[in-house]
Amino acid sequence: MDVGTRVFRQGVIRRFREWLPPIPEGAVTTIGEGDTPLIEAPALSERIGARLFLKFEGMNPTASFKDRGMTVAMSRAVAAGSRFAVCASTGNTAASAAAYAARAGIRCFVVVPAGKIALGKAVQVLAHGAEIVQIEGNFDAALRISQEIANDREDVTLVNSVNPDRIEGQKTGAFEVCEVLGAPPDAMALPVGNAGNITSYWKGFSEWREAGYTDTAPRMLGFQAEGASPLVAGHDFESPETVASAIRIGAPASREGALAAARESGGAIESVTDDEILAAQELLAREEGLFCEPASAAGLAGLLKLVGEGRGPGGTVVSVLTGHGLKDPDVILSRVELPEPVGATFEAVAGRMERRGP
């Protein structure tokens, strides 16, 4: 290999340009998203009776998969001459929009449900200098208002996943999975909130197949949190509730895309409880060394549930860990306490080790 010719993490637009809507080179707004690791999970593979890989999207620049779609949406906003980006968010869309808007030199407004956004995500928005507007309402109200603002003004681009550019960018996750495994997996397991991501992955796998790289496509297994499971219940949730704030959504914008993905792939959309989500988050952290936020563990929680009911998918399975665990420190701190300090002596510290055991 020639030194200096290998380009690492050049961003999903330059890497997958022919699969994406047209973007002039001068408008490309990237901070090195994509190319996230696909990590084999031996301990969890044993638990689910399949060969499990984890697509760790927490390794993106703002630590969630949202960056894949945001680079495309923000680049296209730049190309269109927009001056403002606006979005509704449970947190990660806001963090990503704030970063990419900063990079693009566009002003960014994020509309979030008051008091419902995880600490790490709020900190990111503030750090990047975006305007955060908290409303006394849920995500669904925030999205409606953001759409109204974008409709009202020519120079505003809505960067939620109802913007098709977001879906286009996010489908690159599917391409990377196919490239790394050499073929599509037998099943994909991922969390479902507003349902943009499952829609995107299915679009990516479908296009990969249409391009003739493969004859197969994975079964798409989407999991909602029980307290926010409109696609399972068949009706919207007025007050969605779950510890997994990234999927606390009662009226998914990409509902049709998610249902089509499940139907066309022979998959399913099911629900998992908050306890199952938190148990899966802990297993990922303690058995595989991967710390993801609660929503991201819904895919594994779902796989464990299916296996427990004798319905495990088997074969090769990829679960998307959609966001980093550092996004939501409170979820851990509310369950595991930082121990009291001890004296600065060998005995005191060694004594602590004895008590903990191996």
Binding residues for ligand PLP, how many (CB under 6 A)?
A: 18
- C-beta of 225: minimal distance to ligand PLP in Å? 10
**Residue type at position 141:** A
Q: What are phi and psi of 259, to 5 degrees?
A: -65, -40
Question: Does residue number 60 form part of the binding site for ligand PLP (CB under 6 A)?
Answer: no
* Extended strands (E) in the chain: 38-40, 51-56, 84-88, 107-113, 131-135, 156-158, 187-191, 219-225, 268-272, 316-321
**Can residue 193 be called a binding residue for ligand PLP (CB under 6 A)?**
yes
Q: 131: which strand partners?
A: 109
With DSSP H G I counted as helix, E B as strand and the rest as coil, what are the percentages for the chain, rounded to 5? 50, 15, 35
Q: Which is nearer to ligand PLP, 107 or 255 (CB)?
A: 255
Residue 280 beta carbon to ligand PLP: minimum distance, rounded to whole angstroms = 13
Choose which of 323, 325, 328, 331 interacts with ligand PLP (CB under 6 A): 323
Alpha carbons 199 and 205: distance in angstroms, whole number: 10
Burial of 164 (0-12, 13-18, 19+ CB in 10 A): middle
One residue of 174, 220, 283, 295 binding ligand PLP per CB under 6 A: 295
**DSSP states of 340-356:** PP--SSHHHHHHHHHHH
- State how far Cα 201 lies from the chain centre: 11
Note the maximum CA span of the chain. 68
Would you count residue 196 as binding ligand PLP (CB under 6 A)?
A: yes
Decide if residue 248 touches ligand PLP (CB under 6 A). Answer: no
Given 124, 194, 265, 319, the residue binding ligand PLP (CB under 6 A): 194
The answer to whether residue 62 forms part of the interface with ligand PLP (CB under 6 A) is no
Name which of 28 and 324 has its Cβ closer to ligand PLP.
Answer: 324
The residue nearest ligand PLP at its CB is 323
Distance from chain centroid for Cα 250: 17
Residue closer to ligand PLP by CB (options 92, 281) is 92
When binding is defined by CB under 6 A, the residue of 162, 247, 251, 278 that contacts ligand PLP is: 247
Instruction: Please say which residue, 130 or 246, places its beta carbon nearer to ligand PLP.
Output: 246
Site string for ligand PLP, 79-98 (x = CB under 6 A): -------------x------
* Residues contributing to the site for ligand PLP (CB under 6 A): 64, 66, 92, 161, 191-197, 246-247, 293, 295-296, 322-323
